[in-house]
């Protein structure tokens, strides 16, 4: 049986779109937050939608007042659900390269959460910042 031309064309176009580098069917949004504190600039990026119990990647960057990437910082996260008393859910992000810290977290239920980002440099907490997120 010979396929109909319209079906063949749709199949060919789907194949081309799927295999083209950088092509995405949906445009994911992200939670992006930038702030400065005590001479340090930080940014936070997390893709949305955030799904409960799925591993979700968080990236934090840290730069000093001269815009140099900070190496050796301790970047810790606390996942807090303001509407409920939840067990402690904390993690430290490993350094990927100078100024770049990335790791995965898991939110235990859907709803509004706050991600508390604390950055410690040379034994001193230089920033303690809250990023609100919605978990689905």
State mean pLDDT over 75-100. 95
Sheet holding 56-63, edge to edge: 29-37, 40-48, 56-63, 100-105, 95-97
Domain ranges of the chain: 28-135
- Which residue, among 37, 36, 44, 121, has the nearest Cα to 79 in the 3D structure? 44
CB 63 within 8 A of CB 43: no
- State pLDDT tens for residues 33-61: 999 999 999 999 999 899 999 999 999 99
CB 70 within 8 A of CB 30: no
Look at domain 28-135 and name its CATH class: mainly beta
Q: How confident is the model at residue 128 (pLDDT cuts 50, 70, 90)?
A: very high
Give the per-residue pLDDT at 33. Answer: 93
- State pLDDT tens for residues 10-28: 444 433 444 344 433 344 5
């Amino acid at each position: 049986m010979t396929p109909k031309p319209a079906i063949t064309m749709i199949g060919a176009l789907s194949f081309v779109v799927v295999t083209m580098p950088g092509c995405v069917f949906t445009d994911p949004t992200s939670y992006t937050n930038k702030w400065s504190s005590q001479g340090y600039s930080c940014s936070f990026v997390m893709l949305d939608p955030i799904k409960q119990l799925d591993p979700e990647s968080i990236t934090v960057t840290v730069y000093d007042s001269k815009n140099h990437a900070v190496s050796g910082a301790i970047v810790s996260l606390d996942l807090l659900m303001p509407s409920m008393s939840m067990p402690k859910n904390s993690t430290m992000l490993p350094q990927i390269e100078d100024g770049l810290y990335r790791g995965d977290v898991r939110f235990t239920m859907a709803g509004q959460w706050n991600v508390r980002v604390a950055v410690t440099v040379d034994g001193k907490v230089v920033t303690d910042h809250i990023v609100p997120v919605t978990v689905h």
